[in-house]
Amino acid sequence: MDYRVQFLERQFDFDRAMEALENAPWIGFDTEFVGEKTYVPILCLLQIVADKNIYLVDTLRISDLSRFLRLLEDPEILKITHAGDNDYRLLYTLYSVTPNNTFDTQIAAGFVGYNYPAGFGKIVEKEIGVTLAKSHTVADWEARPLDRKAVDYAVEDVRYLPDLHEKLSRKLTRLKRTEWAREENRKWETPDFYEYDPFKEVLSNDMIHQLDYQEKVFLIRLYQWRRDKAAELNVPKETILQSRHVSTVVRAMKNGQSAFRANRTLPENVWRKNLQDWELIWRNPVRPEEKAFLEGLPKPFIESAEMEWTMEMLYHLVKLRCIEHEISAALLLPRGEFNRFREKIDGGSNSFLSGWRAELLGKQLVEWINSRRIAHLHWEADGVKLSPK
């Protein structure tokens, strides 16, 4: 379809365009932002496709996006995106808005035979027969006026969303997976999906189990200090303290300035600038929330050879089931999530053991994964029989 492209730079024009969409059955949208300069990414451009129009909204000049945000919240309007979780996460961070009635082409594609996550260009090429230009996937979205090629790229990002929705929806219907895709999208429609876990960085750092109690408390606080400092200065966290230096700082704190001076891996200007802050948070008494977290911290996971083999085998049985049904295994079972579940780490989700995942895997496989029972092989003359002990 040929769309009329409108560049919206004035609040009045934007409000009028969004008002016209209040009764629209659907909209497609995408965002362009710059995330490497500031703590919170800068929203630079908002692209919206609806009916016969594509709106390019200059969000550097239009400050009030409330009329668009109401469209996102409206359960009567379908929102079509590709890899929309990043867009929704940014909009939640900036405006505390939670979407309703969402459809994501990347998720839908994962249910109809594409690998997950499949790129937008690949899906467009296979479903619509159009090859997208790839030369402008990285652009200076803060620049004004926008480069012509950047504008063309921004338009392409939403132009094909309606057609993809139609084609992928038909495939989902034929395979009886419409509700499965809907279930997966529904996760984005609750505030819990966007809430930040202050202990997430701590849990992802393997050294937590190698530290004494005071060092563990300090590791928690060091990550919090880095986030607070980055937010205060509105710079990326890595600008404050690079992740690769976190363990060095934690290990050196016990012995103070002499330990930092002797360590050549941490730049001197970094520790001299921040040592006073670190010493303060090192000395502060343990807070109740820190104590509660450390008391609930899972023990280091020690897996027997039999259990390791069993869980690997179960993981590949799940992948086989996905291959048989032409569903992306990475959509059903991200390896990282499975490992957290397998090692009983807090934050590892059991979501793949319920809903459409349980329906696809079947009761026996779900129960086996959940019970973590050791696999037993029976070698027989005509084959091998596999069963849980």
DSSP secondary structure code for residue 82 in this structure: S
The DSSP letter of residue 166 is: H
Give dist(CA 375, CA 382) in Å, integer: 19
Asked if 219 and 246 touch (Cβ cutoff 8 Å), the reply is: yes
Closest CA to 222 of 280, 164, 308: 280
Name all domains of the chain by residue range, CATH numbers in brackets.
4-194 (3.30.420.10), 200-295 (1.10.150.80), 305-388 (no CATH)
Q: Give the count of alpha carbons within 13 A of 304, CB side only.
A: 7
* Distance separating alpha carbons of residues 263 and 92, to the nearest angstrom: 41
Q: Residues 347, 281, 290, CA angle at the centre, nearest 5°?
A: 35
| 3-state SS, residue 348 | coil
180 in helix, strand or coil? helix
DSSP annotation string for 238-292: HHHS-GGGHHHHHHHGGGHHHHHHH-SSS-HHHHHHHHHHHHHHHHSPPPHHHHH
Cross-strand partners of 387 = 376
DSSP, collapsed to helix, strand or coil, labels residue 237 as helix
Maximum alpha-carbon separation in the chain: 79
Residue 286's pLDDT is 96
DSSP 298-326: PPPP---HHHHHHHHHHHHHHHHHHHHHT
Query: What pLDDT shows up at residue 347?
Result: 44
In 3D space, the residue among 255, 238, 254 whose CA is nearest the CA of residue 201 turns out to be 238
Structure tokens at 188: 């984005």
In sequence order, what are the residues at sequence separation of 6 or more whose Cβ sits closer than 8 angstroms to the Cβ of residue 105?
Answer: 80, 81, 82, 120, 123, 161, 164, 165, 168
Contact 88, 194 (CB under 8 A): yes
Residue 361 in contact with residue 321, Cβ under 8 Å? yes
Do residues 225 and 276 touch, judged by C-beta distance below 8 A?
no
Select from 334, 342, 336, 273 the least CA-distant residue to 313: 342
**Interatomic CA distance for residues 310 and 321, integer angstroms:** 17
Rounded to a whole number of angstroms, the CA Rg of the chain reads 25
Across-strand partners of 81? Answer: 104
Tens-digit pLDDT string for the chain (389 aa):
789 999 999 999 999 999 999 999 999 999 999 998 999 999 999 999 999 999 999 999 999 999 999 999 999 999 999 999 999 999 999 999 999 999 999 999 999 999 999 999 999 999 999 999 765 556 889 999 999 999 999 999 999 999 999 999 999 999 999 999 999 999 999 999 999 899 999 988 889 989 999 999 999 999 999 999 999 999 999 999 999 999 999 999 999 899 999 988 999 999 999 999 999 999 999 999 999 999 988 777 677 888 888 889 899 999 999 999 999 999 998 888 888 777 765 444 555 678 999 999 999 999 888 888 888 888 888 888 888 87
For residue 355, how far is the Cα from the chain centroid? 20
> Per this entry, what is the length of the chain?
389
The burial class, CB within 10 Å (0-12 / 13-18 / 19+), for 262 is exposed
Q: What is d(CA 233, CA 251) in angstroms, rounded to the nearest whole number? A: 26
Query: In Å, what is the CA distance from 51 to each residue of 66, 159, 200?
Result: 21, 11, 42
Task: Answer yes or no: are the C-beta atoms of 252 and 241 closer than 8 Å.
Answer: no
